[in-house]
Chain A
């Protein structure tokens, strides 16, 4: 797909989103900040009929601001609790723009997705119990690099996945969208319905592309409808379905549609007839007409697949599937807000967080008394409705639980595999179980052959940790330096999130692949030592478990260079191993 075609797809997405912001959920806009993204946003803004608002949601929005709560000023003035709308409620009827969606916390994500699902928000905070409409479309600005993505639960609910990366400014042509056209399309929208066969075709296409979630075909239905409305079609036509497939289904594809694609290539001249029956719908004979429709939709979706995605899918669809799921948890930062630990009486010093509601509650019982008192000295007229004294101030206390992420760095090289990869796996599993109890996050890096690979980004999902561990093959060289480098990079990013990394390295220390992938022990060892020193210099807690049958001085030396606790375990079983490691990181 060329840059021009990609841009034109992005423009269509903006138009269709403008036609039905609530129904289509929104747009996931993958793009670095820059003129192309600005142009797209300006275009969308112009397309949205007034008075639709653009609300920007800052990344680290507090729950109170997001959901709403008590309006302090108004409450004090009025003398009774006054609610303040949060950003989600304010976005009602408009568009909510999420900055840096790839870094969205799981708590914020859940609030947004539940508002998307319900079209309203339910607030149970600060003594208030409110239900407010919150029907809006989302534009999620995702600036993530290759591996970073917006939370999966959010992506799943946004119809359009638009990628502007790789589109040069020159190709991003200015397009004027008249909001009058959009308004006219909105008027037509309710009368348009997707036919039975058309709906089936979209479902079949989604299935053929390996898309599991049922939201995808449903969103495609709505996009097809919006497309027909915009085009002024009297009913949803094939073109509209193709557009929906291109914009909604193709970016979610996990499989290359096999059968149909080959058929189209080979026997393009005559319309498909045989071979169609080998597909899924065997119990319900599908007329040729539908089949043809699926083909059209699939072809449209396939044409929209970027070439590199296509290649990656062909190379191994299974892997791509696990990766895309793996990212789901990876970016969801866990709950790093402090856990409220009650309130205390206190003064408003720097850093202290006034708990308004508790302060008001503390002041409330005294009001009649204070008012009488104020009246007796004749000061009542000048007094505000609520009389608050210093002694009423209540300061919130928070317990910040530091989150630990344990990074397992597993040597899966040939030498280690020979010795005790199985035992190392067993030990990691036991350690994982312990992490589960403490609700730590875990990550898994394996190194073998010539590189290290992040098999599992930090997650709390133990099921996934286990799966990726079980699938870990052994064999090949020992690129210890690469493994340590990867561990260092990950530790660094974990620290930047305000969490504490712990590295547990399981290896026999027989490094034989250097950083540049070259063979030869001396250089490999030197590289490994310098990589190990990085970890020590950063002061990262580490444990090195020597898995060789006869622990030599080699692994011990690495441990010293890393500043790691060294655990030679010549004859230990998995249980002993896990106990020893736990004892040493506490």
Chain B
């Protein structure tokens, strides 16, 4: 695979970077959607994240990336093997799986393994992209152009955390919990509202318009392309720092306190905006907690809530779909009402 541009070398785009980091710290936040201008580095940021993620522990030989520390969530294979004896575990890179447009359903959910079926007459399941993405990230570039039947399928799996395959005489189910990351350009079409709702955080990406950052973007890109190795070496330190920040934020996360006052604030904010259901509040709370962990804070404060309110809520307003420019303004207004 082509070498990814270092995450820390991305100029500006603070909201997008923050959202991705939050998702890396707490996958429960529920995915990131980055919508915006062409050529502003949306895909670059997602691909950069992949090389930044700390490794994770999986059961050796498991095709579904089962977590050895969570036997309750094992796939059937691991369960059977665990009953026979202790499982070995290995460290692997967190998967960031591309769901390319034009993918066929059998590759997404998995299907009968053709090779084994043809050569040996065995009925074996070949896991698809959803299995590969378990405990990692599933990335859809141009998410707004994804075919409807694949969107339906994703919605189902994302909601249940499990992939159920019933085809060709196979009856398989395996865990499939992943962080959905989507990017796209709104000029090319809107995202289906149901899919929009699945993303925890939604960020708007704009091409920087101040000259200094524009020059810096072009310069770094040019440097990266003309001498990739040297550029990567130059940024190793920053990358290592950031990786460490994610790791320690993850360790700290369970101990970050969310005081009742913050919960109340979150609820007030959602009420003021009239968001549907509880998902807004939950995401707001989780994102603020992840941010606090990233910053090394022990308690979630108003500042944390304020910083993540836009990405956590802007796509959840009971919205007039025409009023896309207005949703950000409405969130801002609600923030100033609630936080004074």
Contacts and interface: CB of A to CB of B under 8 A. Distances in A.
Q: B39, B106, B112, B115: which has the most chain A beta carbons within 10 Å?
A: B39
A361 B169 CA distance: 10
Interface stretch (A26-34, A226-234, A324-332, A504-512): A324-332
A339 B149 contact: yes
A283 B212 contact: yes
A125 B104 contact: yes
B115 A81 contact: yes
A196 B219 contact: yes
B189 interface: yes
A464 interface: yes
A124 B99 contact: yes
A453 interface: no
A53 interface: no
Contacts of A218: 218, 221-222
B209 to A, nearest CB: 8
B156 to A, nearest CB: 16
Interface string B111-132: 1111101110101001011000
B145 A110 contact: yes
A56 interface: no
A323 interface: no
B102 interface: yes
Interface stretch (A94-102, A161-169, A208-216): A208-216
A246 to B, nearest CB: 18
Interface in B26-74: 37-41, 43
B37 to A, nearest CB: 7
Contact of A153 (B100, B118, B188): B188
Contact of B214 (A203, A364, A461, A462): A203
Given A218-B218, A281-B211, A335-B147, A357 B100 contact: no
B187 A461 contact: yes
A465 B321 CA distance: 11
B114 A81 contact: yes
B217 A124 contact: no
Contact of B114 (A127, A369, A464): A127
B157 interface: no
A153 B189 contact: no
A269 interface: no
B38 A463 contact: no
Interface residues of B, number: 69
A200 B114 CA distance: 55
B187 A364 contact: no
Interface in A522-561: none
B101 A110 contact: yes
Nearest to B223: A193
A482 B121 CA distance: 68
Nearest to A108: B102
Contacts of A204: 211, 215
Contacts of A194: 222
B218 A203 contact: yes
Interface residues of A, number: 85
A118 B2 contact: yes
Contact of A80 (B119, B145, B208, B212): B119
A439 B102 contact: no
B207 A110 contact: no
Contact of B187 (A122, A152, A334, A335): A152
B186 interface: yes
A131 B324 contact: no
Contacts of B238: none
Contact of B218 (A212, A214, A335): A214
A437 B319 CA distance: 12
Given A214-B217, A462-B190, A156 B104 contact: no
A215 B221 CA distance: 10
A128 interface: yes
A221 B1 CA distance: 25
Nearest to A335: B147
Nearest to A282: B211
A362 to B, nearest CB: 7
B210 A280 contact: yes
A200 B217 CA distance: 11
Interface stretch (A2-10, A428-436, A573-581): A428-436
Interface in B163-216: 168-169, 185-190, 192-193, 207-212, 214-215
Contacts of B222: 194, 199, 218, 221
20 contacts: A67-B102, A110-B142, A114-B141, A125-B103, A152-B187, A153-B185, A156-B38, A196-B219, A203-B215, A214-B214, A221-B218, A281-B212, A328-B187, A329-B188, A340-B105, A360-B117, A365-B117, A437-B321, A461-B190, A463-B325
Per CB-CB distance, the 7 closest pairs between chain A and chain B, nearest first, are A364-B117, A124-B107, A368-B121, A466-B322, A124-B103, A215-B39, A460-B189
Given A280-B211, A433-B321, 11 more contacts: A79-B119, A123-B100, A124-B100, A190-B226, A199-B215, A200-B215, A218-B218, A329-B188, A460-B190, A464-B187, A466-B322
Interface of B: 1-2, 37-41, 43, 98-108, 111-115, 117-119, 121, 123, 126, 128-129, 141-142, 145, 147-149, 168-169, 185-190, 192-193, 207-212, 214-215, 217-219, 221-222, 225-226, 320-325
